[in-house]
Amino acid sequence: MKLYALQIKPETPSQNFQKVLKFLERVEPSSLVLLPELWYSGFDVKKYLKDTPKVIKILKKISLKKKLLISGTFAEEINGKVYNVAYLIYRGKVLGKRGKIKLFPLFGENETFTPWKENKVFNTPFGRVGILICFELRFTDLVLELKKEKPHIVLVPAQWGYARREHLRVLSRARAIELQSYLVLSDTWGEGGGTRFAGHSAIYSPWGEVLAFSEKGDTILEAEYRPEYVEKVRKALPVD
């Protein structure tokens, strides 16, 4: 099985969507694909909030056709409140959702989004999957909650600022080592909405090996996923 992380430069929603559709054509069937945080709309969420259901509907069709597990975040309105929600879409259905708990103050996210409450780990055909959305990578309390649930894969959809790019590289690799899980990081790069983004998308092994990495450029990263390797690492170095 393959793990994929997509890295794109944020442009208009239409351009972003076309990029993602082309990348999805290239991935192998029965794989996991991670898209960046708010990859469709960027942070201009209120203008494009109404598009979320139709975009998810299309991703459901693609996931069904290619037997994919697709994840990425969308702005979603629930009971009159707007959340930044990571979806897990598999074979035409939504397996689960997990919204952003820790909102990034420098982008004023608290003025747009409501914090999510539950840091859930999901059972999927790829094993147990946890999610940390961008800024959340910094929070030890969230990581320790995931650690108790022993995820096989941790997904990190992000729009991480360029000035803090070294923090992203160090933290993402460290979290893979700490959790002894595969970590898939999908970030944006280049200028978008007046912000320069870090890139540095990557896939790390449970041992902390760099399986794939890209500092910049529209690209798709891939790596082999071996769930048995997670257990091998955990047995070789017990840290519970």
Q: Are 95 and 131 in contact (CB under 8 A)?
A: no
Q: Are 161 and 192 in contact (CB under 8 A)?
A: no
Residue/partner pairs of 13-17 with CB below 8 Å, 24 or more apart: 13/40, 13/41, 13/42, 13/48, 13/51, 16/40, 16/42, 17/55
Q: Provide the pLDDT confidence category of residue 115 given band limits of 50, 70 and 90.
A: very high
Distance of CA 63 to the CA centre of its chain: 16
Cα distances (angstroms) measured from residue 25 to each of 4, 12, 21, 68, 117:
12, 20, 6, 11, 35
Q: Are 186 and 168 in contact (CB under 8 A)?
A: no
Does residue 155 carry a pLDDT above 90? yes
Q: Which residue in the block uniquely carries the two structure tokens 């996991």?
A: 32
Rounded average pLDDT over 14-20: 97
CATH topology for 2-236? Nitrilase/N-carbamoyl-D-aminoacid amidohydrolase (3.60.110)
The closest of 40, 10, 35 to 23, measured between CA atoms, is: 35
**Residue 194 has what pLDDT?**
84
**Residue 192 has what pLDDT?**
83
Does residue 165 carry a pLDDT above 90? yes
Q: Provide the pLDDT confidence category of residue 134 given band limits of 50, 70 and 90.
A: very high
**Residue 64 has what pLDDT?**
98
Going by the DSSP 8-state scheme, the letter that residue 9 receives in this structure is -
Does residue 107 carry a pLDDT above 90? no
Q: Express each pLDDT in 59-76 by its tens digit.
A: 999 999 999 999 999 999
24 or 46, greater pLDDT: 24
Q: Express each pLDDT in 35-53 by its tens digit.
A: 999 999 998 888 899 999 9
Q: Percentage of the chain with pLDDT > 90?
A: 94
CA distance 165 to 144: 23
**Residue 171 has what pLDDT?**
98
Q: Express each pLDDT in 180-234 by its tens digit.
A: 999 999 999 999 878 999 999 999 999 999 999 999 999 999 999 999 999 999 9
The closest of 232, 179, 166, 186 to 208, measured between CA atoms, is: 179
Provide the token pair at 44. Answer: 């201009």
Q: Are 52 and 85 in contact (CB under 8 A)?
A: no
Residue 170: CB partners within 8 Å, gap ≥ 6?
Answer: none
**Residue 117 has what pLDDT?**
95
HSE at residue 8, side-chain half, CA atoms within 13 A, is: 26
The closest of 3, 38, 39 to 21, measured between CA atoms, is: 39
CA distance 181 to 78: 31
Q: Which residue in the block uniquely carries the two structure tokens 């914090």?
A: 115
